[in-house]
Amino acid sequence: NAGVTQTPKFQVLKTGQSMTLQCAQDMNHNSMYWYRQDPGMGLRLIYYSASEGTTDKGEVPNGYNVSRLNKREFSLRLESAAPSQTSVYFCASSEVGGGQGEQYFGPGTRLTVT
Amino acid sequence: GENVEQHPSTLSVQEGDSAVIKCTYSDSASNYFPWYKQELGKGPQLIIDIRSNVGEKKDQRIAVTLNKTAKHFSLHITETQPEDSAVYFCSSGGSYIPTFGRGTSLIVHP
């Protein structure tokens, strides 16, 4: 039981490049989330998916897109990376949605945009 | 939307002392309040949570208290140990999506 896995662990992009961050969970959870973590800013929600086939914007969605590929997988795409997107990205999942239950976090992806 | 304020941002204590971290929230519909611990280089992990129908919950050396009238909740760690050193986040499960505080870096000196 791996929990929540994320790939890659580290990535360096040049401004304007695109990439997709992958996330998968093996706990059969309905809800999945993408956060970014910046120093002194805590965890800010980018997008979330309450169930397979649905996605909604969080607090900071600009510059990102998501895909809930199936119940297990939730990917985050940066179409044209900017230095302001340098951050650590965490994927999470929960059995109960709407922020009403424990979230299980992946190990994170550290992204640097130069 | 929900606003969660967390204080202090940094807390330094001696081993064996108690540590208290406080959070306030704005959404009166919030009814789930978890606390997460994040060790260096890892994702956050739940350490304790409380729902709005109780005022206090304990688990060994950690406890959480909730005052729904005042809209604040606190994490209490007693007999701190060096392995308690980490960043702690409070969160509020509002009516729609989870919101996190900005985090408290707890340093426990041996």
B72-89 pLDDT, tens digit each: 999 999 999 999 999 999
For chain B, the average pLDDT equals 94
For chain A, the first-to-last Cα distance in angstroms comes to 36
Residues in B touching A58 (Cβ below 8 Å) = 97
pLDDT at B95: 62
Q: What type of residue sits at position A60? A: V
Q: Which of A43, A48, A102 sits opposite B89 (nearest CB)?
A: A43
For chain A, the average pLDDT equals 95
CA closest to A32 among chain B residues: B97
Report which of residues B59 and B93 the model is more confident about.
Answer: B59
Residue range A36-47, pLDDT digits in tens: 999 888 899 999
pLDDT at B94: 67
Residue range A3-17, pLDDT digits in tens: 999 999 999 999 999
Asked if residues A83 and A72 have their Cβ atoms less than 8 Å apart, the reply is no
Quick one: residue A2, left, alpha or beta (phi over 0 = left, psi -120 to 50 = alpha)?
A: alpha
Record: contact A42-B102, CB cut-off 8 A: yes
Give the separation between CA A67 and CA A54, rounded to whole angstroms.
Answer: 9
Residues in B touching A44 (Cβ below 8 Å) = 100
